[in-house]
Chain A
Amino acid sequence: MSQEGMKNIANGVQSEVRFSYNDWQKWLPEDGEMIDGKIISGSEQVPIHWKDITQAFQNSCQELKPGELVHDQYFSLYEAMSAVELMDPKMDSGMIYRDCASPILSFEEAVEKNKVQVDNFSPSQLIGIVDELLACVASWLDGQPLVQTIFTCSYLHKVELIEDTYLKAYCVGILKSCDLIWSLIQSGQVFEEEDFCCPSHGCSLQTNVTNAKAFASLKEVDENCARNVKKSGRKPEEETDEQAKSKNLLYQALHTRIKFCRLFYSFFHHLLGTKMNEPFLDVVKASNNRLQSMYAMIPLIKDTCILGDQAEMNDCGNNCMMGFNPLICMKHLPSQFPKAIEIMERTKACDYIYTLIGRLLRATEVVEISNIDNIIQFFANFSCDNPDVLSRSALQHLFCETFKSCNDKKAMNEIIKKAIKIFTQPPILNNPSLKGSQRALEISEAFFERSDGPISRLLFTYCCNRSRQREKIGGLLEELSAMQEEASQCDEQLNVIMERIDSQLHHRPYLGLWGLYHTCKIMEYYLLLGFELDLYGTYEYYIVYWYVDYLYNHRLSCLYAADKHLQAHEAASLDFRKNKNKKSKKKKKVSEHTLEIQLVDAKQSMCKGYLRAIDGFVKQEKMAHQNSKYDNEKLRYEHRILPFMNVYSPQLITYEKFTEVREYTRAALATATEFYSSSAKFFNMAKTKLEEISKPNDDVTNLIKITKTNMVVMNLLASGHKKESKV
């Protein structure tokens, strides 16, 4: 061992011996013994001499003490963690091939040796293959690696070798669609490693076939299929009724699949196409029609899955379809622990695609909305169902193309203005005299333009998966808070200008209120999302409900203030109209914010109901305390609301303030029974408020059910029922 190259790092009893490249030179074999290959260096071929060093290596290892390690200077223990032990079946993915009876052939080799059918397929064989391929597509969209899903279908490895026109057109259509899907997902940037596996490991979705050719082939086979269906509809003499009917059904089933593939491909192609001369709304309309047709086809495909050939046992002991092999691409996987993949069952894949198309259909509705607040709500509702990554990306794409495209730079600005106008009716968007002020216009326009950033980020956040949303809210709140601060400054500056124009006129915090409203909603969302993701222990519920209650309070004040501005505006325009037309009748209009006020008000009462219930449980010692070894409530409180640190308003409530209020409320009532009664009253109050909502939707109806049940339970507890039980 070279002494210069050796560096001992004392670390208890462990030590490391690091080598430089020169040290390794000494281990290079001497001349002779085995010549087994050649190194090509430049144009010269250098013979390689192999020498068995096992014994020499093992002898040298004897010199090492326990815990001593020899490694290259740039290969630390951290890098070593990614190492796999060769030949260990748990780690070495290559070991999978061990059980195969014969070597796995590439598609080209298989075609050459006639081991795979490429022509003269029966309709049931075709149905089996295309259904299996669709199941692979669904599994890929569901987050599995490309290599272990779509590329287990060997036909896709070299589509030009497929001779059957139906299968070739279908395979090309799927390959091209998947490439477009990948572009769509890439452009949305809302995927994370847990959502989606990017194409990699030497598998490419690109083909040499042009779009025109691919569409032409699909059209041709579609027409052929239609002819076959028609032809098979007429019963030939030599066939029985039953035979003719089943043949016709097979052709129909195949035709539906070809039509579906054509629509699927053209949907993505058209949506992502760069036809500058075609208005995007027209693109969406056509896309919507395609989705509607596909939506109607999927149940037909699902019902006829049974007509397709089913999987059979192959050489490697895997149950799979002709032309498919789960191991065909395994060599492309990086040397890591093999991940077990299950391809979706065919009918389940149909269900998956059906839900996906339903979501895509819903996503197209976004282009019809013309006010950003409604768009935000649309995104929030869309996210509630935990949608797949493709529909989330499509929603993001549809929104950006409609409102943020290079063709229409003002669109985003307009929908923001429209929302603010509906929210508070600020004079800058109404008052003609103020509109005349160039300075006022500049100030407000600059604000609208700058709100684009935080609002777009808010929408982007809603397009991420639910867990990542929560992670991203910290950064989002910083941006929203900055926007809100700017809104307030803008309000102040506009007020100065307005008062200068007319001392009777004032500019209230119209823009600031709108900013505050969105900040409050995201803060509430952050806390409530924790319930959905199951992040809170029961001992944390008090803090969460308490803070949500505080935030509801802010949102309510904000809505009341906005409502007041709307009423003032309504009164002013009514006076204006009255002066113009004395006959106009006064008609009481329901305010824009009424429903939301009722709902938030009811939810706040529910929060208070929960808090009083917990107070009762604590008083009766029914609820487990968190008095564990390392728990510190203050630290826990502060970290749980850490993303609110940088928010300008609603102001952060310190732990000291929180405990002060908690102690005060807990001292207000003497017994658990009183707390339970108080809780029941709050739930009753919430119920009454919810029942006052005209045209209640499903959410409201569900909330009414919850408040009813909780009220009954609290009344029972107040009457002493199940006194001994624990929460």
Chain B
Amino acid sequence: MLKIRDDDAEDNSLKQESQLDYVSYESELQMPDIIELITKDLSEPYSIYTYRYFLHNWPRLAYLAMVDSKCVGAVVSKLDMHKKTIRRGYIAMLAVEKDYRKRGIGSELVSLTIEQMIKEGCDEVVLETELSNKPALALYENLGFVRDKRLFRYYLNGRDAFRLKLWLN
């Protein structure tokens, strides 16, 4: 359902000019930052209610990467039952500010949300990514995700997607 274009890829460590902190989502006051960051990279628009659905229901699965007071990265996820038997985590949105990419911020944000999911008894984590989005595929595959399904013409622009999956159980 949700589609994210994330061009993040990890390698270099952060150049330490300023302090990078990862913080949990706390209140809707952080929402404008998250929306601004994600809208920049999005292939399709989300209404404010899409953000609210995730952030209000699963605030503990959302994390922000902050450099000083600036939000440079964010991850938004959910965790609920799938087919009544599997506790399935879903990474709905991930974005890193252009100038802060290739520093492992995306990976760290995804790891934070996965760690929280694991604490909550998650069995598997899924997400969709565009077939041609090599950096996003590399990021998730480096964390252990596999391409579980090919979704033909998944996006409004007619392009294919992969359903990526990480099995935890």
Which A residues contact B (CB, under 8 angstroms)?
11-14, 16, 66-67, 69, 77-78, 80-81, 83-85, 88, 90-91, 143, 194-195, 337, 339-340, 465-467, 470-471, 533-537, 540, 626, 628-632, 635-636, 639-640
Residues of B within 8 A of A535 (CB): 146-150, 162
Q: Which of B14-22, B51-59, B69-77, B93-101 contacts A (4 or more CB under 8 A)?
A: B51-59
- Mask of B146-169 contacts with A, CB within 8 angstroms, 1/0: 111111111011000010011111
Residues of A within 8 A of B28 (CB): 14, 66-67
Q: Which residue among B29, B111, B144 has the maximum number of chain A CB atoms within 10 Å of its CB?
A: B144
A632 and B45 in contact, given A66-B28, A69-B52, A537-B141 (Cβ under 8 angstroms): no
Provide the residues of chain A in CB contact with B153, threshold 8 Å: 143, 194
| B141 in contact with A67 (CB, 8 Å) | no
Are B150's CB and A467's CB within 8 A?
Answer: yes
Complex contacts, A16 vs chain B, CB 8 Å: 56
**Which residues of the other chain, A, contact B168 by a CB distance below 8 angstroms?**
630, 635
Q: Do A629 and B167 have beta carbons less than 8 Å apart?
A: no
- A81, A337, A626: which contacts B53 (Cβ < 8 A)? A81
B44 interface contact, C-beta 8 A: yes
Question: Residues of B with Cβ closer than 8 Å to A?
Answer: 26-29, 44-45, 47-50, 52-53, 56-57, 59-60, 111, 114, 131, 141-154, 156-157, 162, 165-169
CB <8 Å contact, A77 and B151: no
Q: Is the CB of B59 within 8 A of A11?
A: yes
Give complex CA distance A16, B52 in Å.
11
Chain B residues near A90 (CB-CB < 8 A): 45
The contact of A337 among B111, B143, B156, B169, by CB within 8 Å, is: B156
Residue of A nearest to B53 (CB): A77
A669 to B26, CA, bound (A): 58
Complex contacts, B50 vs chain A, CB 8 Å: 81
Q: Name 8 A/B residue pairs within 8 A (Cβ), A-sorted.
A: A12-B60, A80-B47, A85-B48, A91-B45, A467-B152, A535-B150, A536-B146, A635-B167
The answer to whether A628 touches B142, judged by C-beta atoms less than 8 angstroms apart, is: yes
| Contact B27 A13, beta carbon cutoff 8 Å | yes
Q: What A residues does B152 contact at CB under 8 A?
A: 194-195, 465, 467
Residues in A whose Cβ lies below 8 Å from that of B143: 628-631
> What residues of chain B lie closer than 8 Å to A632, measured between beta carbons?
144, 167
> CA separation between A628 and B169, bound complex, in Å?
16
Which one of B49, B59, B168 has the greatest number of beta carbons of chain A within 10 Å? B49
The prevalent SS among residues of A at the interface is loop
CB–CB B146/A69 < 8 A: no
Known: A339-B156, A536-B147. A630 touches B56 (CB 8 A): no
Name the residue among A77, A533, A630 with the largest chain B CB count within 10 angstroms: A630
CA distance A628 to B151 in the complex (A): 25
With A84-B47, A471-B149, A635-B169 in contact, do A626 and B154 touch (Cβ < 8 Å)? no
Q: Do A67 and B27 form a contact, CB below 8 Å, given A77-B56, A77-B57?
A: yes
Q: Which residues of B contact A13 (CB under 8 A)?
A: 26-27
Beyond A11-B56, A91-B47, A195-B152, list 6 extra A-B contacts (CB 8 Å): A69-B52, A81-B47, A91-B45, A194-B152, A630-B114, A630-B144
Partner of B49, one of A83, A534, A629: A83
> B151 contacts which of A11, A467, A635 (Cβ < 8 Å)?
A467
Name the A residues within 8 Å of B154 (CB-CB).
194
Q: Would you give the shortest CB distance from A145 to chain B, in whole angstroms?
A: 12
With a cutoff of 8 Å between Cβ atoms, the chain A residues found around residue B145 in the complex are 630
Q: Which residues of A contact B44 (CB under 8 A)?
A: 337
Provide the residues of chain B in CB contact with A629, threshold 8 Å: 111, 143-144
CB–CB A67/B151 < 8 A: no
A-B contact count (CB 8 A): 106
Task: Point out the residues of chain A lying under 8 angstroms from B146, CB to CB.
Answer: 535-537, 540, 636, 640
- Expressed in whole angstroms, the Cα–Cα distance for A626 and B166 within the complex equals 13
Q: Are B56 and A14 in contact (CB under 8 A)?
A: yes
A466–B150 Cα gap in the complex (Å)?
A: 9
Nearest CB in chain A to that of B153: its residue? A194
Q: Which of A85, A534, A628 contacts B144 (CB 8 A)?
A: A628
- Residues of chain B contacted by A194 (CB below 8 angstroms): 151-154
Bound complex: CA A339 to CA B43 (Å): 12
Given A81-B53, A337-B45, A471-B149, check contact A626 B167 (CB 8 Å).
no
> What CA separation (Å) do A635 and B165 show in the bound complex?
12
State which of A11, A85, A340, A534 has its C-beta within 8 Å of the C-beta of B157.
A340
- Complex interface: chain B residues within 8 A of A467 (CB): 149-152
- Collect the chain A residues with CB atoms within 8 Å of residue B114's CB: 630
Contacts of A465 in B (CB 8 A): 152
Contacts of A11 in B (CB 8 A): 56-57, 59
A78–B111 contact, CB under 8 A? no
Q: Which residue of A66, A78, A88, A631 is within 8 Å of B27 (Cβ)?
A: A66
In the bound assembly, the distance between CA atoms of A69 and B114 in angstroms comes to 28
> Are A67 and B56 also in contact (CB < 8 A) when A632-B167, A639-B167 are?
yes
**Residues of the B chain whose Cβ atoms lie less than 8 Å from the Cβ of A340:** 156-157
Cα distance A537–B147 when bound, in Å? Answer: 8
Residues of B within 8 A of A536 (CB): 146-147
CA distance A470 to B149 in the complex (A): 9
Q: Which residues of B contact A12 (CB under 8 A)?
A: 26, 59-60
> B52 — which chain A residues lie within 8 A by C-beta?
69, 77, 80
Report the separation of the CA atoms of residues A81 and B50 in the bound assembly, to the nearest whole angstrom: 5
A516 and B6 alpha carbons, distance in the complex (Å):
45
Q: Assess whether B47 is in contact with A534, with CB atoms less than 8 Å apart.
A: no
Chain B residues contacting A14 (CB-CB under 8 Å) are 27-28, 56, 59
Q: Are A534 and B147 in contact (CB under 8 A)?
A: yes
Contacts of A195 in B (CB 8 A): 152
Q: Which of A67, A90, A143, A632 has the most CB of B within 10 A?
A: A67
Cα A628 to Cα B166 with chains together (Å)? 11
Please give, as numbers and ranges, the residues of chain B lying within 8 Å of A631 by CB-CB distance.
143-144
Q: Provide the bound-state CA to CA distance between A470 and B152, in Å.
A: 13
Indicate if the CB atoms of B149 and A85 lie closer than 8 Å.
no
Q: Which residues of chain A are within 8 angstroms of B57 by Cβ–Cβ distance?
A: 11, 77
Q: Which of B50, B114, B167, B168 has the most CB of A within 10 A?
A: B167
Bound-complex Cα distance A471 to B149 (A): 8
Chain A residues lying within 8 Å of B149, measured Cβ to Cβ, are: 467, 470-471, 535
Cα-based distance from A534 to B161 in the complex (angstroms): 11
A584 to B64, CA, bound (A): 87
Q: How long is the Cα–Cα vector from A78 to B1 in the complex, in angstroms?
A: 12
Partner of B47, one of A85, A635, A639: A85
CB distance from B144 to the nearest CB of A (A): 3
Contacts of A630 in B (CB 8 A): 114, 143-145, 166, 168
A77 to B52, CA, bound (A): 7
Q: Are A636 and B167 in contact, with the CB atoms below 8 A?
A: yes
Instruction: List 4 A-B pairs, minimum CB-CB distance, nearest first.
Output: A631-B144, A630-B144, A80-B49, A67-B28
Q: How far is the CB of A391 from chain B (nearest CB, A)?
A: 16
- Cα distance, A537 to B114, chains bound together (Å): 21
The chain B residue sitting closest to A537, CB to CB, is: B141
Q: Who on chain B is nearest to A80 by CB? A: B49
Q: How far is the CA of A470 from the CA of B150 in the complex (A)?
A: 10
**Cβ contacts under 8 Å, B48 to chain A:** 85
A75 to chain B, nearest CB (A): 10
**Distance A77 CA – B29 CA, assembled complex (angstroms):** 18
A639: shortest Cβ distance to chain B, in Å? 5
Complex alpha-carbon distance, A628 and B47, angstroms: 35
B148 to chain A, nearest CB (A): 7
Residues in A neighbouring B49, C-beta threshold 8 A: 77, 80-81, 83
Pair B45/A88 contact, Cβ less than 8 Å: yes
Task: Tell me the complex Cα distance, A629–B150, Å.
Answer: 24
Residues of B near A85 (CB, < 8 A) are: 47-48
- Whether B144 lies near A626 (C-beta < 8 A) is yes
> B8 to nearest A CB, angstroms?
16
Residues from chain A with a CB closer than 8 A to the CB of B53 are: 77-78, 80-81
Query: What chain A residues lie within 8 Å of B29 (beta carbons)?
Result: 66
A659 and B148 CA atoms in complex are apart in Å by 22
